[in-house]
Amino acid sequence: MRLHILGICGTFMGGLAKIAREAGHAVTGCDAQVYPPMSEQLRDLGIDLHEGYDAEQLERYPADLYVVGNAMTRGKPVVEEILNRGLAYASGPQWLADHVLPGRWVLAVAGTHGKTSASAMLAWMLADAGLDPGFLIGGVPRNFHVSARLGGSPFFVVEADEYDTAFFDKRSKFVWYRPRTAVLNNIEFDHADIFPDLAAIETQFHHLVRIVPANGLVIANGADAAIGRVLDRGCWTSVERFGPGQAWSVGAVSPDDSFDVVLNGATRGIVRWDATGEHNRMNALAALAAARHAGVPLPAGIDALSRFEGVKRRMEVRGTVGGVTVYDDFAHHPTAFETTIAGLRRRVGRGRIVAVFEPRSNTMKLGAMQSRLAKSLEGADLVYCYASHLGWDPEQALAPLSSRAAIYSELDPMVEALGHVLRPGDHVLVMSNGGFGGIHARLLARLAAKAGP
């Protein structure tokens, strides 16, 4: 089959392209921002990339099916031409459901937070146990160095996103995956551009619960009230719960962030790893429960986590210059800000944490979370906000932080200001769900210039 993928450089669509190539399909694609590393990864696979959304590309790339990413909208010339000609098209999740997932044991990890990390942990545990899973994850696990793989077994791990599927299918992506094992990590209000309130998101999660078979398993955060409401609407599948006071829980936590895994009141082993924060411990519990459902013995899963290398852009150390360590994290929601800072605080103690963030997600740009910003960042010693083209006032939102917060509308002055204020022993936590203008490299270069030869 010849596929032309619209929006191919997104993490999901790029992963889909890789799986399609492994399955023997001819793949080309287009995007408005064809840049590394995804562009290099795709070209290494022999996938020809077209820059832009012009209609003329349909002559150069005739396809049996056009796979449409959810970033595509009506009005883009290539979309309009596909519709005008009556060409065959499908969403990415639909193509995955129709051509990759039939007959497979799908393990879907859903939730507002932690999907990428928990999916990566789960895929790694299955792989370490020799189960050769396929996977499609919204990040790059360091244990695999790729975000997607077709796999050679029935098992397939998918990061199950609640965002809408395509301009022609406004249901959440995860309704296409039909999982046998479903993880419900947490549910909060997010994606204010498509959901009016938390209740609407809960409805989408209940659509997911409705399609898990009776002989499957739902793994649910027992401390999450929204998940409780979702399950109360009806659940036809066995449920295992994780979290404080649940069947799966965390026991003693050591200063190095290793922790006891407790199942049904008994300690079953110790996870010794480099990950930080209570949120990652919850991710680990959920992944362990899912791996056990797929047949991975609990001791083997715990052992595998000791060799879990994390995910790129999840507390990834980008460099240390002059005693200042710069981290890159994908956090883009107040809850993620708070938990990420708390995890780093536990690790660095009294060391200064300098939080540098941009409110870039659609939810943040709309200002839906501005009332929670200051509280979510109060664990940092200093806060730098890159506020460009916002429809709300970040200075007012961050006012409770007083002199600890600084706001910039341009990157160069912010990098320069950071260069003056940073000192040995500081930890700079950069949080964004985008490229943030390459601020990590720019800041490390500024620190190097400050340190001198």
Q: What is the mean predicted confidence (pLDDT) over 173-200?
A: 88
CA 180 – CA 107 distance, rounded (Å): 6
Answer yes or no: is pLDDT of 388 > 80.
Answer: no
pLDDT for res 356: 93
Ranking 13-22, 235-244, 247-256, 354-363 by mean pLDDT, the lowest is 354-363
Q: Are domains 101-305 and 316-451 of this chain identical in fold?
A: no
pLDDT for res 450: 77
CA 96 – CA 89 distance, rounded (Å): 13
Homologous superfamily of 316-451 in CATH? Mur ligase, C-terminal domain (3.90.190.20)
The string of pLDDT tens digits covering residues 22-57 is 999 999 999 997 766 677 778 888 899 999 999 999
As a dihedral over the C-alpha atoms of residue 138, residue 360, residue 207, residue 82, rounded to 10 degrees, the angle is -80
What tokens appear for 395 in the block? 């200075």
Tell me how far the alpha carbon of residue 243 is from its chain's centroid: 21
Mean of the per-residue pLDDT values for the chain? 91
Answer yes or no: is pLDDT of 364 > 80.
Answer: no
Q: What is the mean predicted confidence (pLDDT) over 411-433?
A: 91
pLDDT for res 363: 67
Q: Of 251-255, 312-316, 338-342, 433-437, which one has max mean pLDDT?
A: 251-255
Protein fold of 101-305: UDP-N-acetylmuramoyl-L-alanine:D-glutamate ligase (3.40.1190)
Show Cβ contacts of residue 221 under 8 Å, excluding neighbours closer than 6 positions: 111, 184, 185, 186, 227, 241, 242, 243, 282, 286
Answer yes or no: is pLDDT of 220 > 90.
Answer: yes
Residue pair 333/112 in contact by the 8 Å Cβ criterion? yes
Count Cα atoms within 13 angstroms, Cβ side, for 306: 13
pLDDT for res 390: 76
Nearest residue to 8 via CA among 181, 40, 425, 313: 40
DSSP letter, residue 433: S
Show Cβ contacts of residue 378 under 8 Å, excluding neighbours closer than 6 positions: 400, 401
pLDDT for res 453: 65
Q: Give me the percent of the chain exceeding a pLDDT of 70.
A: 97
Query: Domain segments of the chain: what residues?
Result: 2-90, 101-305, 316-451
Question: How does residue 418 score in pLDDT terms, banded at 50, 70 and 90?
Answer: very high
Whether the pTM exceeds 0.95: the reply is: no
Question: How does residue 359 score in pLDDT terms, banded at 50, 70 and 90?
Answer: confident
Residue pair 398/382 in contact by the 8 Å Cβ criterion? no
CA 26 – CA 47 distance, rounded (Å): 8
Q: Which long-range contacts (CB under 8 A, 24 or more apart) does 387-394 make?
A: 387/358, 387/359, 388/358, 389/365, 390/359, 390/365, 391/365, 391/366, 391/367, 392/367, 394/359, 394/370
Answer yes or no: is pLDDT of 79 > 90.
Answer: yes
The position carrying tokens 């939730």 is 111
The string of pLDDT tens digits covering residues 159-174 is 999 889 999 999 999 9
Count Cα atoms within 13 angstroms, Cβ side, for 4: 23
Q: Give me the percent of the chain exceeding a pLDDT of 90.
A: 66
| Domain 2-90 classification at class level | alpha beta
Q: Is 420 exposed, middle or buried (0-12, 13-18, 19+ CB in 10 A)?
A: exposed
User: What strands, in cross-sheet order, belong to the sheet with 181-184?
Assistant: 148-149, 134-136, 155-160, 105-110, 181-184, 217-221, 238-242, 248-253, 259-263, 266-271
Question: How does residue 317 score in pLDDT terms, banded at 50, 70 and 90?
Answer: confident
Question: How does residue 244 score in pLDDT terms, banded at 50, 70 and 90?
Answer: very high
Question: How does residue 369 score in pLDDT terms, banded at 50, 70 and 90?
Answer: confident
Answer yes or no: is pLDDT of 128 > 90.
Answer: yes
pLDDT for res 37: 63
Q: Between 316 and 389, where is the model more confident? A: 316
pLDDT for res 307: 93
Tell me how far the alpha carbon of residue 314 is from its chain's centroid: 9
Q: What is the mean predicted confidence (pLDDT) over 68-72?
A: 93
Phi, psi (deg, nearest 5) at residue 78: -65, -35
Residue pair 333/188 in contact by the 8 Å Cβ criterion? yes
Nearest residue to 266 via CA among 223, 232, 299: 299
Question: How does residue 114 score in pLDDT terms, banded at 50, 70 and 90?
Answer: confident
Nearest residue to 286 via CA among 415, 121, 45: 121
Answer yes or no: is pLDDT of 94 > 90.
Answer: yes
